[in-house]
Structure 1
Amino acid sequence: MTTSSTESPASATLRGSVLYVEDEPISFIVVEELLSSHPDVRLIRALTGDEGVRLARSEHPDAILLDMHLPDMSGIEVVRRLSEDISAGSFRVVLLTGDRLNIDVLKAMSLGAFEYLIKPVSRQRLEIALQRALDVKARKKPQAES
C-alpha cells in the first residue's frame, strides 16, 4: 500500500512536450508506457542524435530525455550542439542512460544537462525528474513575457 508521502506529486500535473532521443525501440516503449497515464504529455521520438537536435530546434519541446549512446553521436555531442538553447532556457535535458555516473555523464552535466536517470527507471523517478524539468521551463515563461 502506498501513502501520499510516497506518491509522486507529478502524477496529477505532468504536462508538456517531451522529446525522447533514443534508438532502442524497447527503451522508447517503456518510457511511452510509463508516461501513458499523463494525457497532457506529448512524447516525440528521435532515433539519432542529429534528428534529436533538429527536432529540438523545430518542435521546441519543454524537456528532452536523452540516451547517451546513439548510433551517430554521443549524448555529450547532442548536449554540446544544444548548449546555446539549454543556456537560453529553451528546454531542460534529462539524461536517461544505462551508465552509472561516469566521466561522460559528468561532461554532459557540465555542458548543461539538467539531471540524469539510470535505466531501468521507475515511473516515480521519471515523473519526478520530468516534473522538475518542466517546472523550471514553466517558471521561465512568465519572466520572458514581462
Structure 2
Amino acid sequence: MEASVSSCTAPSLPSLFLRRKVLWTTRTGFIITDDGDIITNAQVVQGGCRVQVELKSGDRFDATIRRVDEEVNIALIHINSSMKLPILRLCTSTAVRSGQSVLAFGNSPSMNGTVTMGIVSGRRSLRGNMIQHSAVITGGFLGGHLLLW
C-alpha cells in the first residue's frame, strides 16, 4: 500500500510548545538535521519564550534558540537527542514555479498534524525570496513547511 505524503513527512514535523508567562501555545517547525536542528518562523520564538519540542514518537525536549532572522522571518532552534532524527530535505525557492500544487503542514489550534493544499501563484523578492500561494494558513501553521506536490 502506498504511503500518503502526510504520513511520509509527519516524522520530520514536530510540535513546538511555547510558554509565555503562564500560557502554552502550539506551533510547528521542521527538522533539517538528524542531530536536532529545527527551522520555524522567527515570530514563533519572539519574546523570550520557553520552547519545548514534541516528536511524533511522543518524546519531548527543551529547545534552545540558536539564531533568529526577523528580516526573513526564520528561526533556527536545536534539541539534544540521542537518536538520529528524521529530516525534511530543503530545496531552493528558485525550483518553485507558478501553477505548482503545494501542501502546507502545521498544527492548527486543537488539531495536530493538519494539512492544507493550494497552488503557487508567484514568487517575489520582497524581504528575501518569498513564495505566494493559496494554501489556507492558520495560526498553528506558523513555522510549518510548504511541500511541492
TM-score with structure 1 length normalisation? 0.27
Considering fraction of residues, name the structure with more helix. Answer: 1
Considering fraction of residues, name the structure with more strand. Answer: 2
TM-score with structure 2 length normalisation? 0.26
